[in-house]
């Protein structure tokens, strides 16, 4: 089974230090929620995020949503041959139970993530807990961890997929952030850093390409 990990993702509830910021307070009021119960989202909270530590990696639940749709809509996932985990830039891991469909509607996705990160979980299908990348990899026990990055060695998505498909329990790590690179903590658990295109691509495009190629390569290994 392939473990697909979105790492250092811009997915979190609004941190305490921003609760009183006008953009956050107004958004929470409009939604009838507490500021600490809503997702940090740069589309709405841009002005409040100035000065926030590592702000460039935070407040992008839309990127996570798009990447999750790419993975969970693919036959590899639907057939139970891949699982998906979201590690966040604030040190949480959101586990999505095998074969769970992620809502296509962003508002429903946001609600689901707000519940999970707030410690509530709809039917136990999506669960969040504090966990770093090292601990996550310790749990998954992959036989090899492939990190996807523009800084990696050049490889085609097909070539990478063939290596991935030849293993029993591979992990593929894609950044769930808009810009910047993997942190030292993430780099420490990656065995191979691979670039599948000269250009920087969106995480959901990388996810879709890798998952599709693994699907094809697994077919070749079965034949
Ligand atoms: C929007 S990018 C983050 C920007 C970052 N400078 C980069 O491209 O590595 C989100 C994630 O997509 C993956 N990614 C983007 N372009 C890639 C490429 N050409 N090859 C491999 N992975 C890529 C990486 O995992 C990256 O962390």
CA distances from 160 to 92, 135, 142, 194, 196 (A): 28, 25, 16, 8, 8
| Per-residue pLDDT, 46 | 97
> Whole-angstrom Cα distance, residue 14 to residue 2?
31
pLDDT along the chain (223 residues), means of 10: 98 98 98 98 97 95 98 96 97 94 96 94 86 97 98 98 97 96 97 97 98 91 59
Provide the terminal-to-terminal Cα distance of the chain, rounded to the nearest Å: 18
Q: Is 44 contained in some domain? A: no
175 CA distance to ligand 1 centroid (A)?
Answer: 6
Residue 103, H or E segment:
none
200 CA distance to ligand 1 centroid (A)?
Answer: 5
Residue 98 Cβ inside 6 Å of ligand 1? The answer reads: no
Question: The CATH number of the domain where 119 resides is what?
Answer: 3.40.1280.10
> Whole-angstrom Cα distance, residue 213 to residue 170?
14
Domain span at residue 151 reads 1-11+56-223
5 by Cβ neighbours in 10 Å (0-12 / 13-18 / 19+) ranks as buried
Q: How many structural domains comprise the chain?
A: 1
Q: What is the DSSP letter of 13?
A: B
Contacts with 90 (C-beta within 8 Å, 6 or more apart), sequence order: 12, 15, 58
| Per-residue pLDDT, 221 | 65
Residue 200 Cβ inside 6 Å of ligand 1? The answer reads: yes
Residue 2 Cβ inside 6 Å of ligand 1? The answer reads: no
186 CA distance to ligand 1 centroid (A)?
Answer: 14
Contacts with 141 (C-beta within 8 Å, 6 or more apart), sequence order: 169
Q: Is 34 contained in some domain? A: no
| Per-residue pLDDT, 122 | 65
139 CA distance to ligand 1 centroid (A)?
Answer: 25
Retrieve residue 5's tokens: 């990990």
| Per-residue pLDDT, 124 | 78
User: Long-range contacts made by residues 20-27, C-beta under 8 angstroms, separation at least 24?
Assistant: 21/45, 21/47, 21/48, 22/47, 22/48, 23/47, 23/48, 24/48
53 CA distance to ligand 1 centroid (A)?
Answer: 21
Residue 201 Cβ inside 6 Å of ligand 1? The answer reads: yes
Residue 45 Cβ inside 6 Å of ligand 1? The answer reads: no
| Per-residue pLDDT, 222 | 61
Using most ligand atoms within 8 A of CB, pick from 9, 147, 148 the residue to mutate for ligand 1: 148
Q: Is 64 contained in some domain? A: yes
Atom of ligand 1 nearest to the CA of 182: 27
Contacts with 11 (C-beta within 8 Å, 6 or more apart), sequence order: 39, 60, 61, 64, 86, 88, 89, 92, 94, 113, 117, 176
Q: Is 95 contained in some domain? A: yes
| 34 three-class SS | coil
User: Chain-wide mean pLDDT for the chain?
Assistant: 96
Please tell me the pTM assigned to this model.
0.96
Q: Is 158 contained in some domain? A: yes
């Amino acid at each position: 089974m392939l473990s697909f990990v979105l790492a250092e993702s811009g997915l979190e509830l609004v941190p305490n230090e921003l609760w009183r910021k006008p953009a956050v307070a107004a958004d929470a009021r409009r939604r009838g929620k507490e500021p600490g119960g809503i997702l940090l989202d740069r589309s709405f909270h841009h002005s409040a995020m100035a000065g926030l530590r590592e702000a460039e990696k935070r407040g992008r639940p839309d990127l996570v949503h798009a990447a999750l749709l790419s993975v969970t809509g693919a036959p590899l996932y639907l057939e139970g041959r891949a699982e998906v985990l979201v590690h966040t830039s604030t040190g949480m891991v959101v586990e999505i139970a095998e074969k769970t469909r992620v809502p296509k509607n962003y508002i429903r996705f946001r609600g689901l993530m707000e519940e999970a990160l707030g410690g509530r979980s709809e039917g136990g299908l999506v669960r969040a807990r504090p966990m770093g990348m090292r601990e996550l990899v310790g749990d998954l026990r992959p036989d090899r961890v492939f990190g996807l990055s523009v800084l990696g060695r050049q490889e085609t998505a097909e070539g990478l997929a063939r290596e991935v498909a030849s293993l029993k329990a591979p992990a593929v790590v894609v950044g769930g952030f808009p810009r910047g690179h993997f942190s030292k903590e993430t780099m420490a658990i990656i065995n191979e850093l691979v670039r599948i295109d000269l250009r920087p691509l969106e995480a959901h495009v990388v996810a879709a390409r890798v998952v599709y190629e693994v699907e094809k390569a697994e077919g070749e290994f079965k034949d």
